[in-house]
Amino acid sequence: MTDLIAGVEIPGTAAVAEATSFLEQGVPPLLFHHSRRVFLFGSLHARALGLTPDPELLYLAAMFHDVGLLTPFSATEQRFELDGADHARAFLLERGFPASAADVVWTAIAVHTTPGLPGRMGPEIAATAYGVLTDAIGWSLDRLDGGQVEEIVAAHPRGEFKEEFLQVFVAGLKDRPDTTYGTVNADVLEHFVPGFRRTSMVERVTGAPWPS
């Protein structure tokens, strides 16, 4: 696999190689290519913004950020982001990374769908979210060099990304709809799952077991 894409070097560490192999074999091609693009786009945004994330930690966060949508990573009744974060933290700790590094990756994955927070946090956390936003909704795509974008998409094709990506979300969340409360993930179920109705904060407050 190419070690340099659009001027971004893929870290040449054992953990990166193992994560790449594991994800390439264990997740659908759509998510594998998406995760690699997240790393590449996140790296380009970090460079442009003067951020200096640890490339290895950024790569591991990008690669594991969506695994919580899939079996067997989603056995716990919690937000899919936490499933992925928990799995990534275990992966790092089992390979001798310090707890501080594992916590950075955990946080990057746990908050990557939470608007407004990642950009105020550490460089790995911010860059992960920027990469996700660019690949999923085209955030700041116009700020990136067109040739570099083409090179990234050539190396990791999008295919029918828009349609298939949303269906991965539906499949990963439809059987645990309560975990989408207060998140953008509820948007997906509301659009695609007949009968799904999101619970609002207003309903939770007015329905609380208090007299007033």
- The token pair that represents 119 in the structure block: 């950009």
pLDDT at site 157: 98
pLDDT at site 71: 76
pLDDT at site 75: 64
Q: Which ranges of the chain have pLDDT less than 50?
A: none
Residue 67 CB contacts under 8 Å (≥ 6 apart), including other chains: 23, 26, 27, 31, 73, 83, 84, 87, 88
pLDDT at site 2: 58
| pLDDT, tens digit (0-9, with 9 covering 90-100), for 122-131 | 999 999 999 9
- The token pair that represents 115 in the structure block: 């608007």
pTM of the model: 0.95
Tell me the average pLDDT of the chain.
95
Helices (H), the chain: 14-26, 29-49, 55-64, 80-94, 99-110, 123-137, 146-155, 161-173, 185-192, 201-206
| pLDDT, tens digit (0-9, with 9 covering 90-100), for 132-167 | 999 999 999 999 999 999 999 999 999 999 999 999
pLDDT at site 148: 98
Between CA 58 and CA 124 the distance in angstroms is 5
Indicate the angle between helix axes 80-94 and 14-26, nearest 10 degrees: 140
